[in-house]
Amino acid sequence: MKRASLVREKRYKGLVNELTHHTQKVTFSSTKATELLMMFCRYLVNYTSISSVKDITEDCAEYYFDYLMRNHKRLGVNLTDIKRSMQLVGNVLDVEVDHYLNDFSLSNVTLWINQDIEK
């Protein structure tokens, strides 16, 4: 295995361990929460230089949710997973994510149409 892969894997495991300690407050299954956190950590490792939870900013979370919306088909996530991920990341990191998807009263059709308009 190449050194870069080992470094990324070490960063990934460190981030997952740091974040999983904060998942006790979630309102949905802990298995789903762990899965969503692991996806967030994969994003952090592959697309940012962040190596610690304290380095994660609100902007980073915003970029992550935009990434999810653009790549939801490839990643195999649905709108409910994206909303849960937003809720989870916001609670775990104590950041306020200002994204139109945070409105849980909107229908799925409205949300996908809004996403198409923003492109």
Domain ranges in the chain?
3-118
**What percentage of the chain exceeds 70 in pLDDT?**
75
Q: Do residues 65 and 101 make contact, with C-beta atoms less than 8 angstroms apart?
A: yes
Taking residues 83-112, what's their average pLDDT?
67
68 within 8 A of 82, measured Cβ to Cβ: yes
Question: pLDDT confidence of 110, banded at 50, 70, 90?
Answer: low
Look up the pTM and report it.
0.77
The one-letter code for the residue type at 58 is E
- At 12-40, the pLDDT tens digits run 999 898 888 776 666 677 788 888 899 99
Q: What one-character-per-residue DSSP string does 65-116 give?
A: HHHHHHTHHHHT--HHHHHHHHHHHHHHHT-----GGG-TTS-HHHHHHHHH
